[in-house]
């Protein structure tokens, strides 16, 4: 025993000495490399520097700069790797915790469902409805344990709950997916051209994304064949999600035609495709688009009135649509107390033609929406093969929020807008409202963040929000005032600084 103890003590002592020698040698290498030998480096340089000619000095500067850059590059890459590892580790830990929490909650939910079924079965047994609590409990479920939704009054919506419970929509973004707004704009134009053979200018897409940050309703106007329906369709494909296309019918008169109604005879809710698509969006994490094709075939302010009203509320928690008066426990999970909260990851894209078969879109609708005219198809260009974009709504919304914080309308431009407001109010009796000023603050920063200019964003909003109202004026008596307005744009904002406004007023002047 003593001999073994002596051997083991010697072994531990030798082992610890080796560890200490390794640590001491490791730190000595750093000391020798960066401190002790650094003095020798300087002495060696001093011994030779006196004999350097011009080319020798140039070589010294270049080599020194290259060495310093190399050292900083190595340190920077080590820092990046360490940072990426820390972020990855934190994300994985959070993901594991989330999965554990989801599993725990699912287990509790299953237990509660079983207990509820047993209680219900016991009550039925006591009332003579069924005999045997367990048999009655089993009768409330299908053969495979799934809920029987055939008798539910929201059949489509409950089926969607079942679908996404089995396959939830979760968006995981990698470092390569963390694009900026200009990169997203360019990637979409290349994606649409290379994958779908649809061609759009970056200016059009820049306005579209800026409109997304401004309003949940975007109206696409223009002649047939310019890609009004294709644009939101391509957007859906770009974000790896199909776009719902709802054909508006001329017979639509109220909200029941859009979202459906409760049938007192069948005791079921007549669910429309619009309601099913909108409810499915609430179960997803990615951006979604719903097209109201030929939206002005019926009066928009009639069938879409509820949505126009709630989206004016500043608190998004109040964006609720009343569906049914008497809620039940077996209603879809995202319908609480008979109300459905409109999700934030949805944009309603309305396409419109102005002809004899359609209704005029009123100012109530135009003021709440962002209107984009598509009258010309973009020219063909050779785009590189580009894949779709994996992006969550929360990340896209954060880009909009960052743009609002980083880009502001300058005080000088605000002053020019106030002067323009006073001029138009005096000459044409039309004023900038609070809603338009709010939309300017939302639209222009994102337009600038997407690669546009400040005056370019102001130009678009004034044209689509203010000058559009001039169509209702008696233009033949305003030829002089329209000419003065063109001069105002050129004198105050600069020549060619407001092309949308100047071109629009020129077209109005032709009608005067």
- The strands making up 244-247's β-sheet, listed across from edge to edge, are 244-247, 288-293, 346-352, 217-221, 370-373
Q: Give the percent of the chain with pLDDT over 70.
A: 90
Looking up tokens 């222009």 gives: 444
In three state form, how does the secondary structure of 139-168 look? HCECCCCCECCCCCCCHHHHHHHHHHHHCC
Task: Answer yes or no: are the C-beta atoms of 282 and 160 closer than 8 Å.
Answer: no
Q: Where are the domains of the chain?
A: 1-51, 52-143, 175-373, 407-511
Confidence of residue 15 (pLDDT cuts 50, 70, 90): confident
Helix (H, G, I), strand (E, B) or coil at 130: coil
Q: Which residues contact 126 (CB under 8 A, 6 or more apart)?
A: none
Question: According to the model, what pLDDT value does residue 136 have?
Answer: 34
Task: Answer yes or no: are the C-beta atoms of 287 and 241 closer than 8 Å.
Answer: yes
- Give me 66's structure tokens: 């290259």
Which of 69-78, 120-129, 462-471 has maximum average pLDDT?
A: 462-471
Confidence of residue 233 (pLDDT cuts 50, 70, 90): very high
Helix (H) or strand (E) holding 397, with range, is: helix 393-406
Query: What average pLDDT does range 403-420 have in this prediction?
Result: 94
Sign of CA dihedral 295, 373, 287, 315: negative
Mean residue pLDDT across the chain = 86
Q: Give the percent of the chain with pLDDT over 90.
A: 57
Q: What CATH number matches the domain at 175-373, 3.40.50.11540, 3.50.50.60, 1.20.1090.10, 3.40.50.300?
A: 3.40.50.300
How far apart CA 300 and CA 219 sit, in angstroms, is 12
What letter would DSSP give residue 173? Answer: -
Sign of CA dihedral 7, 8, 12, 15: positive
Query: What average pLDDT does range 50-66 have in this prediction?
Result: 81
Confidence of residue 503 (pLDDT cuts 50, 70, 90): very high
pTM as predicted? 0.70
Question: According to the model, what pLDDT value does residue 148 have?
Answer: 52
Question: According to the model, what pLDDT value does residue 121 have?
Answer: 52
Question: According to the model, what pLDDT value does residue 34 have?
Answer: 67
Q: Which of 350, 343, 340, 367 is nearest to 303 (CA)?
A: 350
Within 13 Å, how many C-alpha atoms sit on residue 334's CB side? 23
Query: What average pLDDT does range 83-106 have in this prediction?
Result: 75
Residue 437 has pLDDT above 80, yes or no: yes
Going by DSSP bridges, is the β-strand pair 217-221/346-352 parallel, antiparallel, or unpaired? parallel
pLDDT one-digit tens code per residue, 169-184 = 999 999 999 999 999 9
Question: According to the model, what pLDDT value does residue 143 have?
Answer: 43
Query: What average pLDDT does range 233-261 have in this prediction?
Result: 93
Distance of CA 210 to the CA centre of its chain: 11
Query: What average pLDDT does range 53-71 have in this prediction?
Result: 82
Torsion of CA 471, 474, 478, 482, to 10 degrees: 0
């Amino acid at each position: 025993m003593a001999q073994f103890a002596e051997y083991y003590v010697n072994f531990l002592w030798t082992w610890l000495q080796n560890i200490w020698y390794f640590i001491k040698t490791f730190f000595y290498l750093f000391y020798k490399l960066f401190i002790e030998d650094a003095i020798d480096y300087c002495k060696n340089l001093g011994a030779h520097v006196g004999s350097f000619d011009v080319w020798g000095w140039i070589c010294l500067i270049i080599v020194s700069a290259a060495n310093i850059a190399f050292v900083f590059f190595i340190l920077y890459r080590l820092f990046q790797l360490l940072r990426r590892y820390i972020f990855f580790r934190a994300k994985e830990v959070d993901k594991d915790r989330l999965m554990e929490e989801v599993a725990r909650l699912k287990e509790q939910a299953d237990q509660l469902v079983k207990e509820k079924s047993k209680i219900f079965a016991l009550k039925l047994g006591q009332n003579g409805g069924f005999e045997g609590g367990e048999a009655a409990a089993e009768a409330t479920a299908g053969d495979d344990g799934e809920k029987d939704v055939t008798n539910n009054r929201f059949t489509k919506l409950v089926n969607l709950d079942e679908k996404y419970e089995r396959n939830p929509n979760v968006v995981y973004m990698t470092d390569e997916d963390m694009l900026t707004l200009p990169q997203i704009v360019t990637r979409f134009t290349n994606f649409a051209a290379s994958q779908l053979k649809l061609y759009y200018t970056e200016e059009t897409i820049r306005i579209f994304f800026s409109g997304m940050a401004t309003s949940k309703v975007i109206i696409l106007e223009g002649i047939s064949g310019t890609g009004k329906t294709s644009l939101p369709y391509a957007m859906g494909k770009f974000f790896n999600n199909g776009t719902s296309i709802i054909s508006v019918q001329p017979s639509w008169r109220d909200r029941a035609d859009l979202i459906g109604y409760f049938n007192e005879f069948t005791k079921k809710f007549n669910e429309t495709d619009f309601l099913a698509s909108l409810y499915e969006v609430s179960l997803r994490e990615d951006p979604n688009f719903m097209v109201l094709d030929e939206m002005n075939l019926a009066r928009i302010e009639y069938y879409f009135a509820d949505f126009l009203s709630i989206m004016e509320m500043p608190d998004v928690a109040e964006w609720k649509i009343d569906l049914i008066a008497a809620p039940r426990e077996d209603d879809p999970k995202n319908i609480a107390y008979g109300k459905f909260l409109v999700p934030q990851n949805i944009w309603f894209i309305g396409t419109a033609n102005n002809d004899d078969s359609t209704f005029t879109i009123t100012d109530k609708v135009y003021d709440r929406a962002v209107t984009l005219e598509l009258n010309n198809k973009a020219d063909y260009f050779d785009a590189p093969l580009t894949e779709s974009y994996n992006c969550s709504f929360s990340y896209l919304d954060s880009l909009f929020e960052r743009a609002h914080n980083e880009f502001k309308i300058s005080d000088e431009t605000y002053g020019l807008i106030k002067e323009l407001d006073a001029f138009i109010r005096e000459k044409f009796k039309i004023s900038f409202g609070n809603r338009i000023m709010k939309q300017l603050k939302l639209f222009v920063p994102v337009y600038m963040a997407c690669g546009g200019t400040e005056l370019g964003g102001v130009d678009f909003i004034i044209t689509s929000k203010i000058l559009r109202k001039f169509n209702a004026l008696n233009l033949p008596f305003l030829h002089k005032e329209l000419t003065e307005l063109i001069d105002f744009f050129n004198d105050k904002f600069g020549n060619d600084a407001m092309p949308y406004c100047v071109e629009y007023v020129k077209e109005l002047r032709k009608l005067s």
